[in-house]
Amino acid sequence: MLDLDETIANIKECKFVPEKDVEELCSKAIEILIEEGNIQHLDTPITMCGDIHGQLHDVLTLFQTGGQCPDTRYLFLGDFVDRGFYSVETFLLLMALKVRYPDRIYLIRGNHETRQITTVYGFYDECLRKYGSVNVWRYCCEVFDYISLGAVIGGDQGVFCIHGGLSPMINKIDQIKIINRKQEVPHEGAMCDLLWSDPEDVAGWSVSPRGAGYLFGINEVKKFNHTNNISLIARAHQLVMEGYKEMFDKQLVTVWSAPNYCYRCGNIASVLAIDDNLEREYKVFEAGTMDITSLPSKKPATDYFI
C-alpha cells in the first residue's frame, strides 16, 4: 500500500520512486480526476501557478513562496513536464499531493501534457533513462488524458483559468464543458486552441506562429469576459521575464512559474494569489541555487519556441 506522506517526502528529496508505486499513484490520481469536470468551479482564496516544466527545485521554492500545500490551495495551469531535468519527480509530486489532498490542489492540462510533445521535449527520454522502460511514461500519459481543461474561480465576475487562451469556436465557457477531453490533444479545434493560443496586439483572430491555436486581441478578450461574466482570464503558456504580465486593461494575465527557464533564460517567476474579494497578489521568486555537478549530463531538447 502506497504511503503518500513518505512518497511526497521522498520525491522532494529526489529519491527514486519504484515503478509499481508510480503505477499505483497514477491509478489513484485518475480515480480523482475522472470525477472533475472539464471546467472546475473553485472557491477563493486560491493561488495560481503557470508553467513549471520539470524544474523540481524551483517548484519547492514556489511552495516556500506561496505557502505549503495543504495550507495553501493551489491551481496549476499546465506544462508540468518537459525541458527541465526533473519532469518525472515534478509530475509525481503534483499527483501525490492531489491524491493526498484532493480539494487543496487542482491541475489544468497544458499543451505539453501529450504523448506527441513529450516524446520530443524530454519527458519520454527522462522516463526511459530513469526507469529503463517507457512504462512510467505510459502511466503518466494516461493521467494526462483525464486532467481538466480549465477552471472558474470565484463565481460571478470571477477568474477564468486556462493554459493557453481563447478559441474562435468557443464563445461561452459552457461550451468547453461538453468537449471530450479524454484524448490526445488534437492538432486543431477548440481543445487545441485552449491549450495553444496566445494573446497579442492583433485585430481579430490571427494564425499562430506556433503552428497550433490562434493569436487573439483585446476585443476578443473583452467580448469573452463580458459574455461569461468574468473579470479576468488567467493563463500561462508564454515565458514572461518579470514572472507575470497583465494585458488588455488588466482583463488578462500571463503567469509564469519556472524561474531561469531551461536553466539559462534568466527570468524570474511568480504565482498569483486570489483572495476572497478577487483581489490579486503576485508573489515573485527567483531560481534557487543548484549544484550544477548534480545536474544530468543530458541537455534539454532543442527549442521549438520559448
Q: Which is catalytic among the residues 112, 163, 187, 226?
A: 112
Give every CB contact of residue 42 below 8 A, 6+ residues apart in sequence. 73, 75, 106, 151, 152, 153, 154
Give the pTM.
0.94
Residues 6+ apart with CB under 8 A from 165: 193, 194, 196, 197, 198, 199, 213, 214, 216, 233, 235, 237
pLDDT in tens, 65-96: 999 999 999 999 999 999 999 999 999 999 99
Q: Is 112 a catalytic residue?
A: yes
What confidence category does residue 50 fall into, taking pLDDT thresholds of 50, 70 and 90?
Answer: very high
Q: What are phi and psi of 121, to 5 degrees?
A: -110, 20
Residue-wise pLDDT for 153-180, tens only, equals 999 999 999 999 999 999 999 999 999 9
Go through the domains of the chain in sequence order and give each one's CATH number. Answer: 4-288 (3.60.21.10)
> What pLDDT was estimated at residue 304?
45
Question: What's the gap between Cα 195 and its chain centre?
Answer: 10
Output the DSSP codes for 165-182: ---TT-SSHHHHTTS--S
What is the average pLDDT across 218-227?
98
